[in-house]
Amino acid sequence: MTLKVSDIGEKELIKYIIANSRSITPDDTAVTPLESSNLISTCDMLIQSRHFPQNMSYHDMGFKSVTVNVSDLAAMGAEPLGFLLSIAIPKDLEIDHFKQIVAGVLKACDFYNIPLIGGDTNESSEIIINGTALGLTDKPLMKDDYNKGDLIAITGEIGLAALGFELDVLDNIYVKKALKPEARIKEGLILRDYATSATDITDGLASELYTIKKDGMGFMIHEDMLNISDEYKRLSDELGLDYLDLILHVGEDFELLFTISKDNLDKLPIDCIVIGEVTDSDVVEMTLENGFVERIENRGYEHYVSE
Amino acid sequence: MTLKVSDIGEKELIKYIIANSRSITPDDTAVTPLESSNLISTCDMLIQSRHFPQNMSYHDMGFKSVTVNVSDLAAMGAEPLGFLLSIAIPKDLEIDHFKQIVAGVLKACDFYNIPLIGGDTNESSEIIINGTALGLTDKPLMKDDYNKGDLIAITGEIGLAALGFELDVLDNIYVKKALKPEARIKEGLILRDYATSATDITDGLASELYTIKKDGMGFMIHEDMLNISDEYKRLSDELGLDYLDLILHVGEDFELLFTISKDNLDKLPIDCIVIGEVTDSDVVEMTLENGFVERIENRGYEHYVSE
């Protein structure tokens, strides 16, 4: 019985690639030193059947393909430089729908101030969009330069998209976050001068905490600091879902998760939500509303895993 | 009856994107001025059912995904800087096959001296590999800076892969070119100092000639300078195929097509095949072996077009 990719999961595949390549330093993006700055480069592929909900417009597909890549630039505190678009579409796709996807891409490029500089078109059985985002920064914001005692914060509420994917109604903040997420590029540029580390939340807070965790260091998150609304708990409950599970283990938030010293937090000129602190416990845990402390499971959205 | 992408073809789609974007200068790659040089960036997506022949090994799929992108760097005379790999695979793909693809990618990165610096993995119904290649050059070799009287040359024989795709036998130069093409990165770096313009041949010589054609300028290609072997003509004939059609209109050669002054040709330190000259006829034509002159059709490999 031969081993298949579904037996080991996406993260193991990535580890395999990294282990066999001398030049990958695992962070949100690649960092390539140039003369007086650093080239920041990242790519992300979106596949219609996996990444685009049924109720997502063609315009929003295009927009999101830029967002997911610019979000990684934001996580590094990079200034956008250019975007490359590889798009594969079915040959029976209507021209108007193709144009709407492109309009979404161009709208996002304009919104994030990242020029569309190149690309490629192809034919495939479903819509597949690969974006490459390039940026520059003289001071890349890495994912694990934090210290014990640093505070942990996020640039905005999380879990909204996760709930939005479960809802059919089009006109509420949850579905809006699910279909029209935005990257925190401006916040990333500011955090570069204040935060000790940062990453963007795409596979869920839990997953990202484990991604940035260093040996010997840990995180204590406080549920009562997450600002979870009563409405959120009620809607989750009505759907038969665990609200903490939605908040921690689904993702697609595109908020930045960052660490910051108490002193710098006082000076930080952007809004954020402080959710915990860096410890030397070597575990990732949460103090629940009821006071109990639980380990946060290392579980997030992962491709391939057999269902 | 709504218009579909198959009604207008891939080239029109690309034109649409370019027409709506302020920042794309159509050449083999994007050119972004950076510090004292230029960042060269390009992306290309390979889709299993479209780009990988049945008899292609997993290793060669990985290798080719780097080749097609490095070939565009070569066409610009760029020094390789880094490669990003986005790979989507079916969840029932055997681990060993995934590892073979990655091995092919890493082998190619080593061969072309382009470090693998980042990437992404995904799940899809077939193997899809998007590569982004980054390079640097202070003197990008554009596609249409030629002058009347320049000679037209190629870095090696063309049409071999086109014939190779039609053959089942594994062990001949045609099939080898079809399954294991190589980018002319070293030649590109040298041509930067000698050629007036260059592009890489991927959709066939005819297609590339029309891609680099400027208003008022034309090209005269000479069939007897193409070095078409008797074996090539015989094999094509046995397959019921037109050998000129294979050479002009299929592609996948990855040789560089370039223009060069007579003086510089004398000094050029690499092998090449001179195949014609730049004219002011405003047409793309060929003098056949029998002496007749014919217009070369603007026909090459194109996605989406209804069959």
pLDDT in tens, A106-153: 999 999 999 999 988 999 999 999 999 999 999 999 999 999 999 999
Cα separation, A201 vs A296, in Å, equals 16
* Per-residue pLDDT, A302: 56
Instruction: State the nearest Cα–Cα gap between A86 and chain B, in angstroms.
Output: 7
State the Cα angle at B109 between A75 and B183, rounded to 5°: 120
CA angle (B263, B268, B273) in 5-degree steps:
95
- Give which of B43, B71, B143, B306 to mutate to test A binding, by max A Cβ within 10 Å: B43
Residue B26's pLDDT band (cuts 50, 70, 90):
confident
What is the pLDDT of chain B when averaged over all its residues? Answer: 93
Q: Give the pLDDT of residue A307.
A: 39
Cβ pair B82:A115 closer than 8 A = no
Task: Count how many pairs of residues, chain A against chain B, have C-beta atoms within 8 Å.
Answer: 238
Q: What is the pTM of this model?
A: 0.94
- Best of A17, A65, A92, A143 to mutate (most B CBs within 10 Å, chain B): A17
From the number of C-beta atoms within 10 Å of its C-beta (0-12, 13-18, 19+), residue A240 rates as exposed
Walk across the sheet containing B284-287 and list its strands: B197-200, B256-260, B151-154, B273-279, B218-222, B284-287, B293-295
Mean confidence (pLDDT) of chain A: 94
Contact present, B74 and B133 (Cβ < 8 Å): no
Question: In sequence order, which residues have a C-beta less than 8 Å from that of residue B289 and are 6 or more positions away?
Answer: B223, B224
Contact B17 A102 (CB under 8 A): yes
Residue B76's pLDDT band (cuts 50, 70, 90): very high
Predicted confidence (pLDDT) per residue in A187-235, tens digit: 999 999 999 999 999 999 999 999 999 999 999 999 999 999 999 999 9
| B191-232 pLDDT tens trace | 999 999 999 999 999 999 999 999 999 999 999 999 999 999
Partner-chain residue, chosen from B37, B41, B84, that has the shortest CB–CB distance to A82: B41
At residue A306 the predicted structure's pLDDT band, cuts being 50, 70 and 90, is very low
Q: Which two tokens stand for residue A285?
A: 């845990």
Query: Most B CBs within 10 Å: which of A3, A7, A21, as the mutation test of the B interface?
Result: A21
The pLDDT value given to residue B20: 86
Q: Give the per-residue pLDDT at B161.
A: 96
CB-CB under 8 Å, A85 with B17: yes
pLDDT for B102 beyond 90: yes
| pLDDT at position B305 | 44
Residues of B in contact with A9 (CB under 8 A): none
Is residue B235 pLDDT above 60, yes or no? yes
CA nearest to A33, candidates A149, A136, A117:
A136
Residue B303 is predicted with a pLDDT of 53
Q: Please give the order of strands across the beta sheet that includes A256-260.
A: A195-200, A256-260, A151-154, A273-279, A218-222, A284-287, A293-295
**Chain A contact probe: residue of B34, B68, B105, B121 with most A CBs at under 10 A:** B121
Provide, as residue numbers in chain A, all residues whose Cβ is less than 8 Å from the Cβ of B24.
Answer: 116-119
Helix H segments across chain A?
5-8, 10-19, 48-51, 58-75, 95-111, 160-164, 173-179, 185-191, 205-212, 230-238, 243-249, 262-267
- Residue A116 is nearest to which of B6, B21, B98, comparing CB atoms? B21
Q: How far is A143 from chain B (nearest CA, A)?
A: 15
pLDDT of residue A305: 44
Asked whether residue B144 carries a pLDDT value surpassing 60, the answer given is yes
Residues of A in contact with B2 (CB under 8 A): 94-96
Q: Is the pLDDT score of A66 beyond 60?
A: yes
What is the ipTM for the molecules in this complex?
0.93
Of A24, A45, A93, which has the smallest distance from its Cβ to B118's Cβ?
A24
Which among B30, B94, B126 has the least Cβ separation from residue A117? B30
Mean pLDDT confidence for B91-96: 94
The better pLDDT of the pair B113, A307 is held by: B113
Whole-angstrom Cα distance, residue B152 to residue B305?
30
Give the pLDDT of residue B8.
86
Consecutive H or E run containing B194: none
pLDDT of residue B301: 61
Overall average pLDDT of the B248-266 stretch: 97
Residues from chain A that touch B23, judged by Cβ atoms under 8 A, are 82, 115-117
Please list every residue in chain B whose beta carbon sits closer than 8 Å to the beta carbon of residue A20. Answer: 102-103, 106
pLDDT of residue B21: 85
Using a pLDDT cut of 70, give the percent of chain B over it: 97
Range with lowest mean pLDDT among A127-131, A148-152, A299-303, B90-94: A299-303
Pick from A71, A46, A78: nearest CA to A255:
A71
Residues in B closer than 8 angstroms to A32, CB to CB, are 81-82, 117, 134
Structure tokens given for B28: 């083999």
- pLDDT value at position A300? 73
